[in-house]
Amino acid sequence: MTDSELQQLVMTISQRDFHRPFRHRAYFNARLRTTGGRYQLASHDIDINPKMLTDFGEATLIGVIKHELCHYHLHLSHRGYQHRDPAFKQLLAQVGGSRYAPAPKHPRVQPYRYLYKCQDCGQTYPRKRRMNTDRYRCGRCRGPLKFVEKVC
């Protein structure tokens, strides 16, 4: 789905479910990582995380769009547009939008990059960051640590 197709989808959902036009911009923003979408107060634009479509499907995408459109229409009508406001909760339930977006999957995050080992007892220490082996000792036996491998 392209940005122009997303724009058309948002305009259609806004007219069909909210009975109001969407007159601003909607686009995919790949920099969103922990959220499904974002309504920008200053410009009234809507950013959508593309992983909502690719990882979870069109039904989840439509739920996120409805959520952001609730913020949009309530803000423009000078009503409570924040998550805690009763007007927001009521409108979201009325149109069937999703309250929470599913957590995006992060497959490229590795648990550790460096592996250290105690020379005396053999205790291993997987680490995300490098460490100075002259400065640190084993927590179990106080033996010296040795760098074993770098996992990329």
pTM: 0.72
Give the strands of the sheet with 26-28, arranged side by side: 26-28, 46-48, 37-39
**Amino acid present at 129:** R
For residue 106, name the pLDDT band (cuts at 50, 70, 90): low
Alpha-carbon distances, residue 133 vs 43, 124, 128, 152 (angstroms): 51, 13, 15, 20
The answer to whether residue 58 is catalytic is no
In this predicted structure, the answer to whether residue 122 has a pLDDT above a threshold of 90 is yes
From the number of C-beta atoms within 10 Å of its C-beta (0-12, 13-18, 19+), residue 36 rates as buried
Confidence band of 107 (pLDDT split at 50, 70, 90): low
pLDDT tens readout for residues 1-18: 999 999 999 999 999 999
- In this predicted model, what pLDDT tens digit does every residue of 21-32 receive, in sequence order? 999 999 999 999
Q: What is the pLDDT of residues 34-88, one digit of tens each?
A: 899 999 999 999 999 999 999 999 999 999 999 999 999 999 999 999 999 999 9
Phi, psi torsion values for 94, nearest 5 degrees: -65, -40
pLDDT band, very low/low/confident/very high, at 108 (cuts 50, 70, 90): low
